[in-house]
Chains A and B, each alone.
Chain A
Amino acid sequence: DQQVKQNSPSLSVQEGRISILNCDYTNSMFDYFLWYKKYPAEGPTFLISISSIKDKNEDGRFTVFLNKSAKHLSLHIVPSQPGDSAVYFCAASESGNKLVFGAGTILRVKS
């Protein structure tokens, strides 16, 4: 049973527009959430994180929103660029324990 779900396998967005990647989780004890980005033939790289005591964290073009009541996490990329085309994984942790990853969403930004 997947505790972290990314229900959209892929997303296509026009360059300059907003990309919104979604993630749902079932474990209400998760208290730390991260997003990773992965290019083909490379390892995933850390993008942004958020603690459960916050509902928003921003880093340049990337913003992560956390809705604890809905157990929902989203990553906003504004404006989207062709170089953002990659697989995005969300991950969650409970009390500093091992990360649990979602299945990933392939983002394609069209120029």
Chain B
Amino acid sequence: NAGVTQTPKFQVLKTGQSMTLQCAQDMNHEYMSWYRQDPGMGLRLIHYSVGAGITDQGEVPNGYNVSRSTTEDFPLRLLSAAPSQTSVYFCASSYSLAGELFFGEGSRLTVL
């Protein structure tokens, strides 16, 4: 049982480049979300989705784009990477917005 799978695990980008972090879950969860973890800041919500075709902004959405075309997949797009987006990104899924979240292993992104 794979749970939540994120790719890539590591990525280095130059300022201005774009990329997509992939996230897939096999638990048939309706809710999926993206967080970033920064030192001293904890986990901050970027975007979330309550079901296929429905997405909404979290606490720190600027510079990121999401879409949810299927229940399983929730990719996070960085449109024009900036050094401030250097972080560890976690995708999570759950049965409810506030319930137990199941996290992926994380994607470490460095923007030079």
Contact = CB atoms under 8 A, between A and B. Distances in A.
B90 A43 contact: yes
Interface size range on B against A: 20 to 34
Contacts of B96: 96
Interface size range on A against B: 20 to 34
Interface in A65-111: 89, 91, 93, 96-99, 101-104
B44 A41 contact: no
A50 interface: no
Contacts of A62: none
Contacts of A21: none
Most A C-beta atoms less than 10 A away, residue of B4, B44, B103, B105:
B103
A18 B44 CA distance: 29
B45 interface: yes
Interface string A18-47: 000000000000001010100001111110
Given A43-B4, A93-B98, A104 B42 contact: yes
The 9 closest A-B pairs by CB, nearest first: A43-B103, A93-B98, A103-B42, A101-B43, A101-B42, A46-B100, A96-B98, A44-B103, A43-B105
Interface of A: 4, 6, 9, 32, 34, 36, 41-46, 49, 89, 91, 93, 96-99, 101-104
